[in-house]
Amino acid sequence: MNRNHVFDSHGPDVRVRGTAQQLFEKYLQLGRDSTGSGDRVAAEGYFQHAEHYFRIMNAMAQAAQQSQQERAERLAARQQRAAAQANEEGEDRQEQDPQPDVREESEPQPELSEG
- Of 14-23, 28-37, 62-71, 100-109, least confident by mean pLDDT is 100-109
Q: What is the pLDDT of residue 88?
A: 79
Give the best-scoring range by mean pLDDT among 30-34, 90-94, 102-106: 30-34
Contacts 24+ apart (CB under 8 A), 53-62: 53/7, 53/9, 53/20, 53/21, 53/23, 53/24, 53/27, 54/24, 56/7, 56/20, 57/3, 57/20, 57/21, 57/24, 60/1, 60/2, 60/3, 60/5, 60/20, 61/3
Spans of all domains in the chain: 7-91
Q: What confidence tens digit (pLDDT) does each residue in 33-69 have?
A: 999 999 999 999 999 999 999 999 999 999 999 999 9
Asked whether residue 115 carries a pLDDT value surpassing 70, the answer given is no
